[in-house]
Amino acid sequence: MKKLKRSARLVEMTQYLLARPHTLISLTAFADRYQSAKSSISEDLAIIKEVFADEGIGDLSTHAGAAGGVRFVPQCRKDVALQQIKSIISELQQPDRLLPGGYLYMTDLLGQPGMMQEVGRMFASAFADRNIDVIMTVETKGIPLAHATAAFLNLPVVIVRRDHKVTEGSAVSINYVSGSTKRIQTMSLARRALKEESRVLIIDDFMKAGGTIQGMVDLLHEFRAVVAGVGVFVESGEIEHEERLLQDYVSLARLTEVDLKSRHITIQPGNFFDLSESI
């Protein structure tokens, strides 16, 4: 790469770091890349760090020593995230989203890349310190959420299938009981999709009793893998707490009331916003 002026170097370093979240980059690599002294690189990083912190984009954490360097950890400011989730909630509360059976149409929102990036950033903030190897979801609606989160955490995604496809090779299948409908269903995961003892973050779009997520947890046991966290976009608060199969999860929104007669839907921010720690 040609030698750049400081102003151009700042632009280049900013895009380089944003494209490589959760990746340790040594000062030497930057100094070589830009043919600049490490002291200049350090000054540049200090400027970028301050802007990223002020804007709530994330933290540039520096690691000293021979193996040291800098790592961009995407974060979100809780006040900004709360504004974003309130805007999502006001969309979700539109009466025409109510479907027969009390289901909520939200597929369109899961198709908006800008909104997925906001939500992925929230999940990536919530689970930044959990030492995760891989993100898991079940087809179909959880996939955009899992991938958006994965991009910010720099982690691979594995997708659990509802049926076993020939293009997946040999697979492990389990039966599970959907907690709310009590129906027996099947899910399967390709044998080669997951290494033993992987630490897995489960992401899904909606949780009622938690049967589907419990199914994924059971599937993980078959792979001798470990649940490192569970994140759901919307949880249903219509279920008693004791009835829930799963207690430890992060939700971004909570559906508290659906009145089928008046078509009134009430949604509140999820437990992500209850946590007292700053993010």
Contact flag: residue 139 with a second copy (CB under 8 A): yes
Q: For a second copy, which is the closer residue by CB, 57 or 230?
A: 57
Q: How far is the CA of 239 from the CAs of 48, 97, 154, 257, 263, in angstroms?
A: 45, 20, 34, 10, 19
Specify the 3-state DSSP secondary structure of 266: strand
Judged by CB under 8 A, the stretch of 46-54, 61-69, 209-217, 248-256 that binds a second copy is 46-54
Give bridge partners of residue 58 from the DSSP assignment.
74
Q: Which of residues 254-273 bind a second copy (CB under 8 A)?
A: none
Contact flag: residue 15 with a second copy (CB under 8 A): yes
- Determine what percent of the chain falls in helix, strand and coil, rounding each to the nearest 5: 40, 25, 30
Q: How many CB atoms lie within 10 A of CB 55?
A: 10
Please tell me the distance from the alpha carbon of residue 95 to that of residue 143, in angstroms, as a whole number: 26
Q: Contact with a second copy (CB under 8 A): which of 28, 105, 175, 260? A: 105
Q: Which of residues 190-219 bind a second copy (CB under 8 A)?
A: 190, 192-193
Cβ-in-10-Å burial (0-12, 13-18, 19+) of 261 comes to exposed
Q: For a second copy, which is the closer residue by CB, 68 or 113?
A: 113
Interface mask (CB under 8 A) for a second copy, residues 140-179, using x and -?
xx-xx--xx-xx--xxxxxx-x----xxxx----------
Q: For a second copy, which is the closer residue by CB, 130 or 274?
A: 130
Q: What are phi and psi of 86, to 5 degrees?
A: -65, -35
Judged by CB under 8 A, the stretch of 4-12, 85-93, 214-222, 271-279 that binds a second copy is 4-12
Contact flag: residue 253 with a second copy (CB under 8 A): no
Q: Which of residues 84-103 bind a second copy (CB under 8 A)?
A: 99-101, 103
Minimum CB separation of residue 198 from a second copy in Å reads: 13
Output DSSP code: residue 98: B
Please tell me the distance from the alpha carbon of residue 123 to that of residue 125, in angstroms, as a whole number: 5
Q: Contact with a second copy (CB under 8 A): which of 32, 50, 197, 274? A: 50
Minimum CB separation of residue 74 from a second copy in Å reads: 11
Please tell me the distance from the alpha carbon of residue 251 to that of residue 88, in angstroms, as a whole number: 14
Judged by CB under 8 A, the stretch of 3-11, 214-222, 233-241, 263-271 that binds a second copy is 3-11
Q: For a second copy, which is the closer residue by CB, 66 or 99?
A: 99
User: Residues in contact with a second copy, total (CB under 8 A)?
Assistant: 57
DSSP string, 100-156: GGG-B--HHHHT-HHHHHHHHHHHHHHTTTS--SEEEEETTTHHHHHHHHHHHHT--
Amino acid present at 276? S
| Beta-sheet strands, E only, within 184-240 | 184-190, 199-207, 226-236
Positions in the binding site for a second copy (CB under 8 A): 2, 4, 6-8, 10-12, 14-15, 18-19, 47-48, 50-52, 54-55, 57, 99-101, 103-105, 107-108, 111-114, 116-117, 139-141, 143-144, 147-148, 150-151, 154-159, 161, 166-169, 190, 192-193
